[in-house]
Structure 1
Amino acid sequence: MCSLSTANAKFCLDFFRELSKRKRDENIFFSPLSLSAAFGMVVLGARGNTLKEIEKVFHFSEVLSNTNQENQHPSEKCKDAGEVHSQFQALLAAVSEPRPGCSLTIANRLFGEITYPFFQQYLDSTKKFYQAELEAVNFKYTEEEAREKINFWVENETNGKIKDLFSAGVIDPSTVLVLVNAIYFKGKWAVEFKKEDTKETYFQLNKNEKKTVQMMFQEGYFNMAFIKEPKIKVLELPYFNNELSMFILLPEVVCEDFTGLEQLECALTDEKLAGWTSSTRMQPLKVKVYLPQFKMEESYILNNTLQEMGVMNVFDWGKADLSGISKKNGLVVSKAIQKSFVEVNEEGTEAASAMGLVLMPLCGPVSYEFKADHPFLFFIRHNPTNTIVFFGRYSSP
């Protein structure tokens, strides 16, 4: 069975590879879950080839119905199209549930031109399954007011962390439908990094270039795995309550390619990622952890990237079929934009009991080193559902 979490992981890596073509040596940070959920709302109103393209690229067509999974072969497609939306309803509720020590906001909304008559059934479905509504605005005559309204909504939904999602001129009178994703995350570590242990040191970008960073340090027991092919170390840093964790994939430094990052990115698949970070592969070890402080705020206009991946018709005035949203012709997704924010620092809560179940060997344990002083991949996972919420590459301070 291909669950929604698996489909999300597949799309995540597909999207990362496509984005990497344009941002070869740059930082990358995005939320595959938020993107999938937003296009799930589009799927509710998409028909024909427009629907098929989105389902294929986001791997929605591979998600099997829970009610039929015992009798279906894994290669069969889900006959119940509503199953994807029902799974989203449960998944988004679980991921966004308030929890102490972590602030996680995933805000999705569609803003549509006020002159278009939207079907009530569609509005009811977006609210039911995605806790979001399609809001009508006047793009045709008051585009600047509409832009400010959208920006204010995003800022409010992200506790003021994401401002000015749309810059002046991005929205014009020809805009019909705007797809908005706004993501904010800040979490407290289960075990904090002490500020007095943070030191300035070098982060090696490549063979010939390096920059200074504030490198955090702590030593303790963490889940860790050693992968032989490609040669990488995988470390899990849990957040408060252990519901969310950051996983860091750190390539070994090799001569021909300083970071080894390219080999890792080429080898990465959703099956390997799941295997490398599984409870059977990772084991609690005493580790000296060195991790740079960093803050990333990324903004992407996604039209071209998604078109390269195969989502074509929904952006095309002549081919888009969103007849499940409105009876009026000419409705398309004119802009798809995502802005993401993440901050990593020493902050955390003293939760020694989180590591208290690890049995201490009688002999002096070997202490391993995990030093993230060169480019690495990372992702934040919601552990109860095994869902990748955020994915990124840190390659430049």
Structure 2
Amino acid sequence: MEAQQSAGMSDLAARLTKRLADPYSDRNLVFSPLSIYVVLALLAAGARGKTLEEILRALGALSRRELEDSVARLLDGPLRDRSSEPGGSGPSVAFACGVWSDLTQLLKPAFRDAVVGRYRAEASSVDFRNDLKQAVRQIDAWAAAATGNLIQSAVPPGAVHRKTRLVLANAIYFRGKWDVPFYESSTKNRPFYRQDGTAVDVPFMSNYDRHLIAEHDGFKVLKLRYKSGARYMSMCIFLPDARDGLASLLDKITSSSPAGFLREHLPNSKVSTGKFGVPKFELSFDSSLDGVLNDLGLLIDADLSEMLED
């Protein structure tokens, strides 16, 4: 079951990446497949007929119950906050879902039960029709509280209006310490090469320890572990050998079974490194996924009639 969940999420991530990479090839791209997976699972709780079938197929699940169990395993496993566990060295994790309906239309009892009881989401009513600004402030305040004020605005301009009847949102916050730390005194500026061939000097973190690295045909993979107690959590960086090789590397990752590709190519042994550096970076990205999800065969003439009372 967990392998099927991993495969479903990896496949969704690969399909989204392929759709987003080309139109945004001239800028940084960052998104959370996990967040999109969970929001689509929330939609499934209120969908029926062909729409429900499409969502289940896209997420690699056979039923709503299977989706609920998958999300529950995530909440009780990788998404559990570990900062307050003995030793206090585990990552700080916050993962929250919210559903806001307009005051004029209440959530159907079965949908509310699924949202609150099984997905552990917040369910509230706001006044989109008569006080749109206050409704947006309430949703933004929820996102800020859930992410330690890292996300100040969860509602992009123009995303909701006075005819909006329902908003579903997800927010995730993660802060962890490296298992092998990088020291500020070792951070030096080095050239970072971009897709267009130009270079810019950026701070590179470095240390002199052994690291989990795998070399493959045309690319390398670095696995940086976080301090996380009994179960390791990691950041994995895929680096093409060629400076213009990112597009071909994405094709390799997304052309077959993404979950299988990742399993087969992640490093499992440490090697000594000489000149080793990882760039410090801060990424931001915003985009509408409506067209992308439609391209994937989702939410076209969607039947979401199990969400709201008539």
TM-score (norm 1): 0.70
Partners in 1 of 2:236 and 2:158 — Cα distance? 38
Partners in 2 of 1:208 and 1:117 — Cα distance? 54
Asked if residue 322 in structure 1 is aligned to residue 297 in structure 2, the reply is no
Q: Which residue of 1 aligns with 2:250?
A: 265
CA RMSD of aligned residues (A): 1.8
Q: Which runs of 4+ in 1 moved over 4 A?
A: none
Determine helix, strand or coil for the equivalent of 1:201: strand
Partners in 1 of 2:252 and 2:78 — Cα distance? 28
Q: Which residue of 2 aligns with 1:383?
A: none
2:110 to 90, 115, 121: 121
Determine helix, strand or coil for the equivalent of 2:208: strand
Q: Which residue of 2 aligns with 1:354?
A: none
Q: Which residue of 2 aligns with 1:302?
A: 289
1:181: Cα distance to partner? 2.2
> Aligned AA for 1:180?
A
Select the structure that is richer in strand.
1
Partners in 2 of 1:88 and 1:129 — Cα distance? 9
Partners in 2 of 1:41 and 1:167 — Cα distance? 20
Identity of aligned residues (%): 27
> Aligned AA for 1:266?
D
Q: How does 1:217-256 map to 2 (within 5 A)?
A: 217-228=206-217, 231-241=218-228, 243-253=232-242
1:268-319 CA distances to partner (integer Å, 9 max, x unpaired)? 1312122111xxx532211243101111233332222212221133xxxxx3
Determine helix, strand or coil for the equivalent of 1:219: coil
Do the aligned partners of 1:139 and 1:175 also contact (CA within 8 Å) in 2? yes
Select the structure that is richer in helix.
2
> Aligned AA for 1:300?
S
Determine helix, strand or coil for the equivalent of 2:238: strand
Determine helix, strand or coil for the equivalent of 1:51: helix
Q: Which residue of 2 aligns with 1:155?
A: 144
Gaps of 5+ in 2: 84-88
Do the aligned partners of 1:144 and 1:171 also contact (CA within 8 Å) in 2? no
Asked if residue 53 in structure 1 is aligned to residue 44 in structure 2, the reply is no
Gaps of 5+ in 1: 61-77, 314-318, 329-397
Q: Which residue of 2 aligns with 1:198?
A: 187
1:117: Cα distance to partner? 2.9
Do the aligned partners of 1:112 and 1:135 also contact (CA within 8 Å) in 2? yes
1:206: Cα distance to partner? 4.1
Q: How does 1:1-397 map to 2 (within 5 A)?
A: 3-60=4-61, 78=62, 80-100=63-83, 101=89, 102-206=91-195, 208-228=197-217, 231-241=218-228, 243-253=232-242, 258-269=243-254, 270=258, 271-277=260-266, 282-288=268-274, 289-313=276-300, 319-328=301-310
Do the aligned partners of 1:89 and 1:128 also contact (CA within 8 Å) in 2? no
Q: How many residues were matched structurally?
A: 296
Do the aligned partners of 1:105 and 1:158 also contact (CA within 8 Å) in 2? yes
1:58: Cα distance to partner? 2.6
1:45: Cα distance to partner? 1.1
Partners in 1 of 2:114 and 2:196 — Cα distance? 53
Greater shift, 8-17 or 116-125, is seen at 116-125
Do the aligned partners of 2:226 and 2:233 also contact (CA within 8 Å) in 1? yes
Do the aligned partners of 1:224 and 1:285 also contact (CA within 8 Å) in 2? yes
- Gap change, CA 1:93 and 1:11, over 3 Å in 2: same
Do the aligned partners of 2:144 and 2:150 also contact (CA within 8 Å) in 1? yes
Determine helix, strand or coil for the equivalent of 1:215: strand
Partners in 2 of 1:167 and 1:4 — Cα distance? 30
Partners in 2 of 1:156 and 1:195 — Cα distance? 30
Partners in 1 of 2:196 and 2:26 — Cα distance? 13
- Gap change, CA 1:325 and 1:170, over 3 Å in 2: closer
